[in-house]
Structure 1
């Protein structure tokens, strides 16, 4: 079995020591031999029985980081850029941006990858050349590997597609694994088959229609979650995390809708505020902080923008209206 230090190489090889706890999908893999000592980026990697796994999750502070992957043979790679983006250099240059996934194959036995400064979360699985015949037999779409297999082409690349909620669910299933010296490689191999099924069976032939269906599904899931939690301290990022999708995919699902994500949260809070003003004597300050506004002044400004009158004016009008109703009821 190839060791992690043979498979992954960081340039420069080291930087300041890290103390942050690793919380990626491969966090069940313990420290060395599943990470490179003194590596520039917090990561986990695993090479076993003709399969390669690599996950990078860290914040790069200063400049672009370069990573060299050196498998023992040409590979088919599946790449998922959860946060941040990366650029690959083999016989061509390929960039994967945040919130997207892709796959490609190359005859190169060395793959150079660049990560830009900022937060990065990248997940990769490699399937080396000895697996190609079996992969093509099981996934007919991969027959293009024949050209790579017979040295007729140096590389080929698939489409770049947004990360869907279904792909997130596939990744989240890794969190249920507990490291075992014998069973973990078997479980990871089975999980990799599930990943291939997603890319080359379940998701094949679904282009824009799949994205649109995912957007509709994400929109309804998000509005349901917001209605249940708008009284909590939630944000755009919180909602995306709860749905296991990227912020980009979440915001896209609200395009051409009445409200943005934050706009819908604000709408529900202000509607609740109107109800509380009408049927209680709670102070404006109390209402503002309960509904997660930064201060009473900001609450009053937002309320006036939406309902065309300040909170106290609305409350007084509601009191007069209720008083008039009471008088009419008494006269009857």
Structure 2
């Protein structure tokens, strides 16, 4: 058990993060804050924050208990955030949920003004810089990767992912953070000095930022739907083959095959299915010969066609036509 005096010493231990030149937030006289931290009382001495009308700076450094540690950041404006995860891991509730780990810089934004974060147990240390929305157009003009920030709606009504990009923490970035230790708290000049420091940070982060890669699973799902659409539009073409489809999708044959794994049909199996359905439709209301239909639908021979048709629909082509055109009850296999 820690006695009350020891606990008091722990709680009043001097903050030693990069923003250690800042006094505790409740001792700083500022205009109405655009940034509110919802955090438990025991952790009040484990973070520092500062703001002006353009930016918010926030740092948290603490060894947490054996339970995940949730807290919220509430703002009065939308912000583009640069999160430098120095130690520990956790998650941020954006779309989709952003799981963060140490040694990485993340750039993200969120349309809602209350940001829920959760830190994993253990040592945690992160530095967070928020850039107010009225600066976004100017940033986007200078850094092309930021051109889509704030454009939440797509043509199909779905939201864009809110992670703009990420990059590893480099030595130059650590040097920039270390330079903050030479700052002094001066109520008039501090905002100007921090804003100038931001420019250095922007160049170090935004020029190295890499757009998030789509998960492999999402990529294959998208490819599958694009490929099936293409096949539906072109299955009547005799020369249609796997290589032709892959070239049209601008992917390798192997990747195209992967997108059809665990699906009902293979690539050419789907082509064959559409051609069999077309043949069935022709049989329904025509007197075309079986050989003619097999030729029109690009089967190698009438015998091959008849064998595949019977396997798919339960009756051979002639039997099927007699059943349908003779109004005989018939159900094909699904």
For residues 46 and 136 of structure 1, do their structure 2 counterparts lie closer, same or farther at Cα, with a shift above 3 Å needed? same
What is the alpha-carbon root mean square deviation over aligned residues? 2.9
TM norm structure 1? 0.52
Report the CA distance between 1:153 and its aligned residue.
Answer: 4.1
Task: Quote how far apart the aligned CAs of 1:19 are.
Answer: 2.5
5+ residue gaps, structure 1, are 1-14, 208-332
Runs of 4+ in 1 over 6 A off after TM superposition: 149-152
Residue 167 of structure 1 corresponds to 173
Map of 1:21 onto structure 2: 14
Larger radius of gyration: 2
Paired position in structure 1 for 2:144: 140
8 A contact 1:132–1:149 mirrored in 2: no
Residues 274-293 of structure 1 aligned to structure 2 (within 5 Å):
none
Aligned residue for 1:47? 51
- The C-alpha deviation readout for 1:186-227, integer Å capped at 9, x for no partner, is 1111111211111123x25799xxxxxxxxxxxxxxxxxxxx
Find 1:38's aligned residue among 32, 41, 44.
Answer: 41
Q: Given the superposition, is the C-alpha separation of residues 139 and 133 from structure 1 closer, same or farther in structure 2, using an over 3 Å criterion?
A: same
Does the Cα contact within 8 Å between 2:82 and 2:128 map onto a contact in 1?
yes
Change in CA separation of 1:37 and 1:86 when aligned onto 2, cut-off 3 Å: closer
Partner Cα distance (1:200, 1:79) in 2: 12
Q: Which runs of 5+ in 2 are unaligned?
A: 1-6, 29-36, 213-334
The 5 Å alignment of 1:111-260 reads 111-148=115-152, 153=159, 155-201=161-207, 203=208
Q: Deviations over 1:278-309 (max 9, x none)?
A: xxxxxxxxxxxxxxxxxxxxxxxxxxxxxxxx
More helix by share: 1
Cα deviations across residues 153-210 of structure 1 (Å, max 9, x unaligned)? Answer: 4652133322111110111111111110011111111111211111123x25799xxx
Distance (whole Å) between structure 2 residues aligned to residue 170 and residue 86 of structure 1: 24
Taking structure 2 as the reference length, the TM-score comes to: 0.52
Cα deviation digits, residues 101-142 of structure 1 (max 9, x gap): 111111111110001111111110011212212212232321
Give the CA deviation at 1:45. Answer: 1.0
